[in-house]
Every structure is written in C-alpha cells, then in structure tokens.
Amino acid sequence: MKSRPAIVVAVSVALALTVSLFPPVVEWMSPKTGLTRSFFALPAFGGPPVESQTTEISLRFLDDAPDLPRQQISARWRGFFFLSRPQTVEFFAGGNDEVELRVDGELVLSRNLREGTRTQGRRIALDAGAHQLSVDFQQFSGGMALNIQRALEGQAPTPFLATELFRDRVEARHVRMLSAARWVRRITPYMWAGVIVLFVGTFAALNYRTWRTTTAPRSAREYAGRLWLVAATSLLAPAIVFILGPHTIFANNPGEFAVPFGQLAAPWLLRSAATNWLILFAPGCVIAVLSERATRVYAAVLLAIGLTLWGQGNLWNADYGVLAGRDVDLAEHAARAPYEIAGFGAVLVAAVAFYRPISRVAPFAALVFIGLQAVGAAATSAGPAADRARWIEPPPEIYQFSPSRNVIHIVLDEFQSDVFTEILQQDRAELDSRFSGFVYFADHTGAFPTTSMSMPAMLTGMEYRNQKHAPEFVREAFKDSSIFEKVSRAGYDVDAMSIVPIASFEEWIGPETAPNWKGSRFRIRKPFISQGDYREVSARQLGELSLFRHVPHSLKELSVKRPGAFYRPIWMDRGDTPAQIRRHEASNSVAFLEHFAGLMSLGRDRPVYKLIHVGVPHRPVVVDRICQFIGPTDMSRESYTAQSRCAVKLVAALLDRARALGIYDSSLIIVSSDHGTDLNPLGFNGKSDSLSLVPGPSTSRLPATVGSAKAIMFIKPPQATGPISISEAPTTHIDLQPTILDILELPGGSPGTSMLERDPKQPRRRTYGMYDPRQRFPKEYLDRIDVLSIDGRSTDAASWHVQRSIWNPNARLDARDIDVGPREAHRYLGPGWSFEQREHASGGDEVTFARPATPKAVIFASLPAGAVELVLRASTSAGPASAVVRVVVDGRETARLEVEGAAYRDYPVRIPADSARPSISEITLHLEGDRDETPVFKLDRLTIRER
C-alpha cells in the first residue's frame, strides 16, 4: 500500500520537472527574442559601437547608464518583427533630432528637424512571417526623444512586444514553440501546487496514526497555547508595516496631510493590518495542529521577520530621495541588494537554529515591541505639528476679485520655458488672442531647482545662501522684503493658494492664527476631493510608502516592474477613481483650476494680490493635452509637452473667465513657473569651462541644470493689448518684485530693474543656485549650494560657470587619504569630475580614478589652518605632451604641475598657513591647453599632510 502512493507522487514530481524544463529548453534551442542595439558616442554612427540585447526600442537605457553621453550621439536597433497572419500594420515614429524606421529594407518613416519631429504613422500591408526591422536614431544637440510604436490590424498603437521581436529571422514553427513554452511556463506553478497538495495529502494519510500519538495537540488547552505563539507574533510585521510605519511617515510630514492620522488609520490601514495578520495567522493555525516544534519554528521566524522589517525601514533604509514625481533611482543603490538579502537570510537562519529559546519569549517580545512603538507614536502625536493636519474648505473670498484693481499671479510648477516657446510657435494665432497684451521673456531664468527656494526668490527678491536655517530665512524674507509686504502697505489684500506643505505655506504668509497680511488662504490639498475620498487615498499613499520603505532593495524593484503585485498586500483599490486620479500633482491641479475658474466672481472692496500656485505641468506626466487623465506615463519631451499644453489651456480658460467678469484689461497678470524640469532645452549647445554635459559624482549634467533654470515668465500690464510680444532680455526671478512695483507705481522698486525696461543687448551676469533637488523642503541648511553664473544666453553652455560653492556651515570633510574613484569620495569631488573609471596600472593592479570632464574641476576638503602638503596621485593618458595643471586653493593660485606618463606618481602641492581658512576649502584644478590635444589627466588619490 505504501509503495503505490509513493510511485504516484514520484511520477507526479517527474512530470512537473519535465514540464518545468520544457520552457528553458525550447528557449535555448530557438532563435533569441529581442533586438540588437548599437550605441555610438558620436552622431552619424561614428566610433566603436557599444552593443547589447534589448526587448524595447526606446532611450530608457540612457537613464540606466548615467556615464553615457546625451549629446551628439546615435543608436541603431536591428532585428526581425514576426506576424502570425497577413495584415495591414500601421507603424509610428517620432524623434528628436532624427529617426528613420525601415521594414524589409524599405524606408517607412523619417522624422527630423527639417520635416518635423512629431510622431507620424504609416500603414503598410505585410505577409505572415518575419520582417526585417531597423531603426536609426541620431541626436545632435538640445532636446532628445524617441517614440516607436506599431498598431496591428484592429488594435490600438502600442510599443513592440518582446514576444514579436527576434534577433534573427524566425519561422512560424519557432514562434509556435516559443508560444507553447510561454503557456507551459504559466501553468507550471499550478502543476507544482497540485504536486505539493498530492504530496501533503499522501504524507498525511500515511502518517495519520503517528501524528495522533506523537505531535497532535492532546487537549484544547494545548492547542490554544500553540495558537498564542503565532497569534501574537503574526501581528508584529503587519503592525510595523501598516500602522507604525505609516505613522512615522505622517509624523515626519504633517504638513502634507489635511486630516489627523487617526482618520487615515481607521478603517483602511487597520483593515490592511488585520487582513495581513489573518494571512499570517491562518497557516499558523494549521501548523499548530500538526506539530508543536513546527509551531515554535514558525513563531520564531515571524518574530525575526517583523524585527528585520522594522530595522530595514528605520535603521538601514537607503536614501531614495523625495518622491515628488521623479522616478526613483533604484540603480543608485543596487549594490545594497545582496547585503540586505544576506542579512535577512542570516536572521532567518538564526531564528530557525535557535527557535526554542526565541519562541519562548516571542509572543511577549512582539507585544512589548508593538506597545513601546505605539507609546512613542502617541507621544509624537501630541505635539503642535499634529494640530496642523485638519480639514479646511476653501474660504469664499479665495474666489472673489476686486472690480478694478487686481494682481493675478499664476505659478505653474515645473513648467520649462523652452517647451512653452515651442507651444507658442505652433499655436501663435490662438495664443495671441487669448493672451493679448502679454510680454513673454524667452530667456528668463529661475533662481533654484526646487520650489522651496525658488518661490521665495521670486516673491521676495532674496536668494538663499546658507546664511541661516532655510525656514528662518524664508520667514524673515517674506515678512520683511516680499512683494506681499509691499502691496499690503499699499492697501492690497493678499490671497494665496499653493500646493506646498502647510509648514512652508505658513513660512510664507504666517500662521493662520497670526497672518502677516490681510487676506485669505488655501493650501491646495492633494487630492482635491471630498473628505471621505481624501482619507481613503491618503491612507493608501501612506500604506504604499511604508511598504516600500520596509522591504529590502530587491523587493523595492518590484514596485516599478510589477506595482500591482507589489502593493497587493495593502488590499485597497488602485483603480482610476477621482481620488486615485488626483493623487498626482498635475491631475489634482487640473481639478482645482477648473473648480476655481468656475467660481471666480467679483465681491472685494479692496484691491487684491492673488497668488495661485498649482502643480501642473509638474511631473509625473498623467494628463494629455486636453487635460484628460491617461495614467502615469513615461517622461519624455513629447508627453511633458502634452501635459504643458494642458496647463496653457487651463490658464487660457481662467483668463477667459476674467474677461467675462470685466477685470482682464485692468489687471496686472503674471504667469510664471518656479523652475523648469530636467529636459534638454531646445537650442542648447556648446561647452562650459566648469560644468559637465554628463552627470558627475555630486553634480547633475549641465543640460538638466539649464532645463531646471528655464522658468517661464509672462507679464501683462494693466490696459496692455495686442498680440504677444517676445523679449530676449536676460531676466531672472529676482527681477519680478521691482517689475510689479514699477507697473503698479508703488514705492520700494529700483530704477532700471523692471523686466519691461531691460535692454536685450545689454550684457548682464545672472546667478543660479544649484543643489541636490532631493533636498526638497530643508528644515535646516542645504548640504551644498553651487553658485553658478550665467554670462550670456541661458542655452549657450559657454555662458555657464561655477563661481563658488557654499556648504552647510556645520559640514566637515575631514578625511586625509581619499581614494577619489569609489562612491565614498563623491562628496569630495565637486563640479567638473567624471564618475569612477578603472584601468590596470603598469604593475598590473587595478586602479580606480576620476578625470576632469571640463577644464576646471573642483575638489572639496577640510584643511587645517596651518601649512599643509596636498599630494595628488595622478597620471595621464598616452600623448606627446604633458598635462599642465594649475592648482588654486580658496581663490589663491598655489602650484603649477606638469603631469606626464602613464605611471601613477605623487605630485606634492605646498599650501601655506591661513588662519581664515574656511571649514571646507575649494581646491580647483585648471587644466591648461586644448583638451582635444593634451593628454587626459587621471586622479587616483588625494592625501593631506600637515607640515
């Protein structure tokens, strides 16, 4: 009897193994899917290609390889496209600067700067079988985009599927076999599940008598004792991830929420925790029936998992930056993955190995840990910050205007001006009518890359330089020097609406109980929906952020690749309800602006300055050109331009409403953005002496920096009429306040500083403060501000220069022996450096080094006040001449080095004593000569020695 069930189980296992091996064997024997991509670091497909295999035709690979250039490049995709039946296929191609799509050697579509870069389609009839597919892409300068899709007969356009692309020509039998292999792979898990059920059932039947006499509970009391082991420990992980974790996020960001945490926890987060507790507890109930030993192992493992998840979320979670619409840079922290998995594995092994002592205390330890965390959470919830989270409806005065004197200032967050320039060129006639009387400043620049510092600069005329804590600076600047203060003195009410957190909003206009000026306010909540819907979507947002925070890096990658599966444990609907749609800045601001324009009315006796700061076209891209929700979409120039068109459409509708109320002509209207985004600006070209065109260890690429600086500025003075006029004057955000005061004829302005009076031909130096955009709303100092000067047009790279860097006054860089290649040295490498590179030195050892990417490259270090010897260990590439390097320390030229030869040598630099030396010194290396002719300077190590 026992042999027959064993044979059945063995045959089932053999069958499951055979089925499992079928897909990889078929895929190994069949032609490989995908295409061959060739990347060239030069246009016209010049230079040696970097070849790789891919399943998509896009430029996404550039985001995964920050060391690759973004300018003057070309790429090819080659392979075959398979059709199972004859049909008419429509191919689509669009690209900036040039793309050609060929099928079977025939040119199907060509898009370029001469004929246009917008996506176009073309239908062609194709037979069944494999068709040769080739795509050629070139980028010369400025913007970059590529869109390749196909539409099968009767279907909507989509990118090519990986299953229909092949590296070599295939036959129908190959494709049928691969399809069968994919089908078998889908059913394999179910087959193994059946085998497991069969095995468990057989094992249970054969061992039932043994179980009854040895491991089964002898009484209900004993069974209850086993359940207690798993009931308490099953609660630990769900409580950490779905209750304590969300509370930590809420407590650190109270200004982001419009209701207290309790209204978010109940019922949604509590339900998520309870559901996951049941999922963990249910297997424990079964295990408790089978074996006391297995129950104790399970309890020990549950305790270990819960504590490890807490450690992952609170002790060693990586800094993934602020989730403000930009894609999470998972590749930056990929090196953590094996260590985190090894750590989790070691904890689980230890829990299993020592399950007896751990299981004895596991229930008590789990409940005590939850209790202590809950007490701490309750203590943080009792502070004044918690009182800020309360539901507020827009006051009626927000929608009301003066019949005759209004300043309407609309800020479209993250609107890059060259994108608007493109829209203006294409829709000039319509915009001339709807934006009559406006002056557009085409070469305007912002002040900083994020809202927290750019908005204060625009509204106060003061630029932050780490002179004090950022919130204190902002409060004082607004109260003492802002345009709000000056128009308020002239009798204006100040109405403000903004998407910024409540804490930042109150830094601008004062607390609600003690406002700085007379007027109304409304912090635009996200999502802008009913209170019940808001609570639900905010609870889901907290749950998703907490889950992302508490899992190891390897699982975080699933949040991008398979978000539906990753977030399933939250057990909340992710469908396109109004609440879900308006979770994003752009779609939420669409709803608010449409609501606002519909309720605009007259009713104010005093003149009004009305600030309307909204989050469209802020990333992510989620709406199309007519403001319809399309869901999160890959960021590209085309998709971002469509979302920007939506912003223009909304503003035009608001202006139409102002005309209907009779206040358009008499109002001063400003349409601006706080900053741009990181798209390559149209027309950008040239090279800078100190800012690289590619990302560096601690700096972004210059085209992205310029994109962030290109904020829009659009002004209509009262009674101005006629088509839009375009000014090329070199204006900047700090010019706005004197411009407004000059137009309104109010005191406080400076003669000749109005944007409307600036001569486009008059040279001017503008400044831009660049810092890590992940420091979104700093609570103290910024880590480092690179003060950049713009001495010419903003789209000319040669106009951009590094002037100086201003560090957090409390920061120190005290290392005395710095290997400049690895990540640990990135803080020491300022503007102008490449990422880590590797080579084998003459002795055979591998050397990591960095090289200057521009003629000027900056090193940061904290030097002693006394005399110092700085030793640069460096070499050069092969060449007939040496590399001449001038070393400038804190603005003083200190040495001139001649570095020659491929062998790494030490080059000492003697630095005299300086009692006024800053806490962090700037060591600038100036490379002399033509960089195309002189050898490449390679820096391996930096050593600091006191003399």
CATH number for the domain spanning 86: value is 3.90.182.10
In the chain, the percentage of residues whose pLDDT exceeds 90 is 58
- Looking at the fold, whether 232 and 350 belong to one and the same domain comes out as yes
Tell me the C-alpha to C-alpha distance, in Å, between residue 806 and each of 25, 183, 418, 923. 60, 59, 29, 14
> In total, how many domains does the chain have?
4
Q: Is residue 598 in some structural domain?
A: no
Q: What is the mean pLDDT of the chain?
A: 89
277-286, long-range: CB < 8 A, 24+ apart = 277/234, 277/235, 277/238, 280/230, 280/234, 280/237, 280/238, 281/230, 281/231, 281/234, 284/227, 284/229, 284/230, 284/231, 284/234, 285/227, 285/230
Q: What is the pLDDT of residue 489?
A: 95
- Looking at the fold, whether 506 and 411 belong to one and the same domain comes out as yes
The mean pLDDT value for 642-667 works out to 97
Q: What is the pLDDT of residue 800?
A: 97
CATH number of the domain enclosing 716: 3.40.720
CA distance 374 to 635: 40
Q: Is residue 99 in some structural domain?
A: yes
pLDDT band, residue 646 (cuts 50/70/90): very high
Q: What is the pLDDT of residue 570?
A: 86
CA distance 755 to 732: 9
Q: Is residue 194 in some structural domain?
A: no
Q: What is the pLDDT of residue 495?
A: 97
Question: Lowest mean pLDDT: which of 228-242, 382-396, 461-475, 854-868?
Answer: 382-396
pLDDT band, residue 931 (cuts 50/70/90): low
- Looking at the fold, whether 918 and 779 belong to one and the same domain comes out as no
Mention every residue, 6+ apart, whose C-beta is less than 8 A from residue 823.
Answer: 697, 836
Q: What is the pLDDT of residue 456?
A: 97
pLDDT tens-digit readout, 663-676 = 999 999 999 999 99
Q: Is residue 154 in some structural domain?
A: yes
- 3-class DSSP assignment, residue 736: helix
- Looking at the fold, whether 329 and 237 belong to one and the same domain comes out as yes
- Looking at the fold, whether 300 and 248 belong to one and the same domain comes out as yes
The mean pLDDT value for 464-469 works out to 96
pLDDT at residue 199 is higher than 70: yes
The mean pLDDT value for 864-887 works out to 86
Please classify residue 783 by burial: count the beta carbons closer than 10 Å to its beta carbon, then call 0-12 exposed, 13-18 middle and 19+ buried.
Answer: middle
pLDDT at residue 99 is higher than 90: yes
pLDDT at residue 473 is higher than 60: yes
Q: Is residue 441 in some structural domain?
A: yes
Q: What is the pLDDT of residue 321?
A: 61
- Looking at the fold, whether 232 and 335 belong to one and the same domain comes out as yes
Angle between helical axes of 417-426 and 637-661 (0-180°, round to 10): 70
pLDDT band, residue 900 (cuts 50/70/90): confident
Tell me which amino acid residue 852 is. P
- Looking at the fold, whether 235 and 364 belong to one and the same domain comes out as yes
- Looking at the fold, whether 68 and 100 belong to one and the same domain comes out as yes
pLDDT at residue 574 is higher than 80: no
pLDDT at residue 535 is higher than 50: yes
Q: What is the pLDDT of residue 324?
A: 47
- Looking at the fold, whether 442 and 353 belong to one and the same domain comes out as no
Q: What is the pLDDT of residue 42?
A: 78
Highest-confidence range of 761-775, 871-885, 898-912, by mean pLDDT?
761-775
CATH number of the domain enclosing 823: 2.60.120.260
pLDDT band, residue 325 (cuts 50/70/90): very low
- Looking at the fold, whether 722 and 765 belong to one and the same domain comes out as yes
pLDDT tens-digit readout, 680-697 = 999 999 999 999 988 888
- Looking at the fold, whether 54 and 104 belong to one and the same domain comes out as yes
Angle between helical axes of 270-290 and 220-239 (0-180°, round to 10): 150
Q: Which of 853, 842, 883, 867 is nearest to 917 (CA)?
A: 867
Question: Lowest mean pLDDT: which of 31-35, 388-392, 721-725, 824-828?
Answer: 388-392
Residue with the larger pLDDT of the pair 382 and 830: 830
Name the residue range of residue 47's domain.
Answer: 35-169
Q: Is residue 628 in some structural domain?
A: no
pLDDT band, residue 264 (cuts 50/70/90): confident
What does the angle CA 544 – CA 547 – CA 552 come to, to the nearest 5 degrees? 140
Q: Is residue 821 in some structural domain?
A: yes
pLDDT tens-digit readout, 861-872 = 999 999 999 999
- Looking at the fold, whether 91 and 161 belong to one and the same domain comes out as yes
Q: Is residue 308 in some structural domain?
A: yes
Helices (H), 321-449: 336-353, 355-381, 384-387, 417-426, 428-434
Q: What is the pLDDT of residue 389?
A: 63
Q: Which of 203, 223, 227, 329 is nearest to 284 (CA)?
A: 227
In the chain, the percentage of residues whose pLDDT exceeds 70 is 95
pLDDT at residue 1 is higher than 50: no
pLDDT band, residue 783 (cuts 50/70/90): very high
